Chain A
Amino acid sequence: MKEVIRIEHLNKVYATGAVEVHALKDVNLTICEGEYVAIMGQSGSGKSTLMNILGCMDRKISGSYYLEGIDVAKQGENELSRIRNQKIGFVFQAFQLIPRTSAMKNVEIPMIYAGVSGEKRKKRAQQLLEKVGLGARCHHLPNELSGGQKQRVAIARALANDPAILLADEPTGNLDTAASHEIMDFFTKLNEEGATVIVVTHEEDIAAYTKRIIRFQDGCIISDTGRRETLC
């Protein structure tokens, strides 16, 4: 299987004033195409920091991070934007839909930045919203949707440019139990269709949906259920 993420000797230090916080300490990690991974840990364990680095929103690191073979730390601002646009599909805890903008328009945003023409964009947005079961709610505004529906719009948006990885940061954190299971079932389905899915969570029952659980504590990986070098 193809290697999607490769992290070697990754260190991250936040220097806020006089205090230095060593958020990640010598992390090594490889994730392959089609994997379904949960990254677990208490708050402050470094999982959010890892999430930002994996999402190419933070490249001020020591060590190296290869995403589909690209050395992320060596890329410029514009290249990083392109990588986020093309290779990463974000799903956030707080949904992060743009307010007063229809579901359809929200799903179109990544495609706008990718330069997809208007007609194609609308067609694909429509298809994606149908895929997440919101075909009838294309023109609804975010505040007219329930939490579960908002998260499904966010998933549709994450899939827009056919990314290499789906990166979900506590995707069920703001949802009730029923909606949480609905969303996780959906991630499972996407993974079965071949998507690489990484879910950051602190809930065991959410992590249970995945096939590989990586636990963080104090910036280090303390366990990895599926760490098999032979996989890639």
Chain B
Amino acid sequence: MLIWENIRLAISAIWINKMRSFLTMLGMIIGIFSVITIVSLGDTMRGVVAGEYENVGTGLAYVYMTTEDGYYTDNDLFSQQDAENLREAFPKELTYVGFNTGERLDVTVGRTTEKVYFNGLAKNPEAMKKLKIIYGRMLSNQDIEEKRNYVVLDKDTALSLFGKENAVGSTFSVTINREERELLVIGIYENTDSALMKMLSGGGTKTAYIPESIYVSSEGNTQWTLYFIISPEVDINQTQQRVVNLLSRIKNKPVEQIVSYSAAQEMSTIDTMLGSLSAVVGAIAAISLLVGGIGIMNIMLVSVTERTREIGIRKALGARMQDIMTQFLIEAAIISALGGLIGTLLGIGVISLAASILGVKAVVKPTVILLAVAFSAVVGLGFGMYPARKAAKKDPVEALRFE
């Protein structure tokens, strides 16, 4: 018998019992929807994390020192000189060396006071932070070397402090390290972070960039952590090791007490964590698919009993066992696959909506969709098998007499 006839039969049978079919489908819809949503949410988060690291490059790394006994002395902190030594030792290998320090400070202009997060940038600031400058200019190496009291503000901060976006040329005073400074706005940038990242970094934090040299004194060991960016042209792990070795010599400490992590390492840790988390939760959600399958089996059994006479008629008219079986199997598979399809569309819809609200790129892998729909069809076939066999085995004489 033609498959197409069976599909038409199945659709008309589903249509005749609209409400019942829909309720049965609901099990599959919810199951597939949760699997797609959860797995895609995980993938989207991984995409966001990867995107963040892409902004700075996977070459970003940091280093800090530990002690044997937990007692820290001055020598366990870094100084500007240490940073400069690194820059000189690895002029090609490291594109940036700095402390990546920051502090939230009160800024008052006229009657407006705003809390602004000040970030210090060291030499070669573009390597650390690629800002989208819309007015004025970025901090230059010269600004940093000469410890100029310059600042690059974000658009929103400028607007709230000065009442205009283009505040280049304006000044304000701020107390940095107990010393009041008059800062000159030399550039305005636009924050291009996604809503999600803004949320994670403290919700609309107002940020300003200043030369690190006016923030970190050139004298003494004051900094816990040293940041550096490894050029993409050299091997990350090897370079990281060379940096550690050099610091070990400079600070006169064993290599084991110099700890360094790169963004690549961190990213793979987070990626693995998110990956296994969404796999586990996705697997739990997949249990609901099983429940959906049982629902299908249940309703197909009812349907087979209700249509005993129809089965008898069909057999009398020449339907073979496999014809009857195919008819009911296809009906189960269509209910299941249709449920899967609706669930998939709902899942994609919800993920896309959530992503657009958070301002991130939704990641829905085609393999996940394929797997979900294939799985729902398999569930339909699997759980439809028993009722279909039951239908096919009916004795035509008995079935025709069924009331």
With CB as the reference atom, state the residue of chain A lying closest to B315.
A81
User: Which of A85, A98, A157 contacts B310 (CB under 8 A)?
Assistant: A98
CA distance A130 to B315 in the complex (A): 26
Which residues does chain A contribute within 8 Å of B16, judged by CB atoms? 100
Query: Does B350 reach chain A (CB closer than 8 Å)?
Result: no
Is B318 on the interface with A (CB-CB < 8 A)?
Answer: yes
**How far, in angstroms, from A161 to B313 measured CA to CA in the complex?**
16
Query: How many angstroms from the CA of A113 to the CA of B321 in the assembled complex?
Result: 11
Residues of A that sit less than 8 Å from B by CB: 52, 55, 57-58, 77-78, 81-82, 84-86, 90, 92, 96-101, 109-110, 112-115, 157, 161
A113 near B323: Cβ-Cβ < 8 Å: yes
Which B residues are within 8 Å of any A CB, using their own CB? 1-2, 5, 12, 16, 309-310, 312-321, 323, 396-397, 400
Cα–Cα, bound, A85→B318 (Å): 4
Min Cβ gap A221→B in Å is: 22
Which residue of chain B has its CB nearest to the CB of A98? B310
Nearest neighbor of A85 in chain B, beta-carbon distance: B318
Docked Cα-Cα span, A108 to B318, in Å, equals 12
Residues of B within 8 A of A157 (CB): 317
Cα A86 to Cα B319 in complex, Å, equals: 11
Q: Is the CB of A96 within 8 A of B313?
A: yes
Measured in the bound complex, the distance between the Cα atoms of B196 and A118 in whole Å is 57
Judging by beta carbons under 8 Å apart, are B316 and A113 in contact?
Answer: no
Extra contacts besides A85-B317, A101-B12, A113-B314 (20): CB < 8 Å: A55-B316, A57-B316, A57-B397, A77-B321, A81-B320, A81-B321, A81-B323, A90-B316, A90-B317, A96-B312, A97-B313, A98-B310, A109-B313, A109-B317, A112-B2, A113-B319, A113-B320, A114-B318, A115-B2, A161-B318
CB distance from B343 to the nearest CB of A (A): 29
- List 19 interface pairs A-B (beta carbons < 8 Å), by A numbering: A57-B315, A57-B316, A58-B397, A77-B321, A78-B321, A81-B318, A85-B317, A86-B318, A90-B316, A96-B309, A96-B313, A96-B400, A97-B313, A99-B310, A109-B314, A110-B317, A113-B323, A114-B318, A157-B317
Instruction: Please report the C-alpha to C-alpha distance between residue A92 and residue B401 in the assembled complex, in whole angstroms.
Output: 11
Give the distance in Å from the alpha carbon of A101 to the alpha carbon of B8 in the complex: 12
Q: Please, which residue of chain B has its CB at the minimum distance from the CB of A154?
A: B313
Enumerate chain B residues within 8 angstroms of A114, measured Cβ to Cβ: 318
Please name all residues of chain B whose beta carbon is closer than 8 Å to the beta carbon of A85 when the two chains form the complex. Answer: 317-318
SS class, residues of chain B in contact with chain A: helix
Q: Are A84 and B313 in contact (CB under 8 A)?
A: no
Contacts of A97 in B (CB 8 A): 313
Which residue of chain B has the shortest Cβ distance to A92 in the bound complex? B400
Q: Shortest distance in angstroms between A204's beta carbon and chain B's nearest beta carbon?
A: 26
Contact check, A115 vs B1: say whether CB atoms are below 8 A apart.
yes
- Which residues of A have CB within 8 Å of B316? 55, 57, 84, 90, 96
Residues of A within 8 A of B397 (CB): 52, 57-58
Q: Please, how many angstroms separate the alpha-carbon atoms of A112 and B324 in the complex? A: 13
The answer to whether B400 touches A112 (Cβ under 8 A) is no
Report yes or no: A113 in contact with B1, Cβ–Cβ below 8 A. yes
Alpha-carbon distance between A77 and B396 when the two chains are bound, in angstroms: 12
Q: Which residues of B contact A101 (CB under 8 A)?
A: 12
CB of B325, distance to nearest CB on chain A (Å) = 12
A99: chain B residues at CB < 8 Å are 310
Whole-angstrom distance between the Cβ of B126 and the nearest chain A Cβ: 70
Residue of A nearest to B309 (CB): A96
Contact A112 B5 (CB under 8 A): yes
> Quick check: B320 and A112 within 8 Å, CB to CB?
no
Q: Which residues of chain B are within 8 angstroms of A115 by Cβ–Cβ distance?
A: 1-2
A115 to B1, alpha carbons, bound, how many Å? 6
CA distance A201 to B310 in the complex (A): 24
A98 touches B318 (CB 8 A): no
CB distance from A111 to the nearest CB of B (A): 9
Given A112-B2, A112-B5, CB of A98 within 8 Å of CB of B313: yes
> Which A residue's beta carbon lies closest to that of B316?
A90
What residues of chain B lie closer than 8 Å to A92, measured between beta carbons? 400
Task: State in angstroms the CA–CA spacing of A86 and B320 once bound together.
Answer: 13
Query: Which B-chain residue is minimally distant from A52 (CB atoms)?
Result: B397
CB–CB B313/A77 < 8 A: no
Write out the residue numbers on chain A whose beta carbons fall within 8 Å of the beta carbon of B315: 57, 81, 84
4 cross-chain pairs, A with B, having the tightest CB-CB distances, nearest first: A85-B318, A113-B318, A81-B320, A110-B317
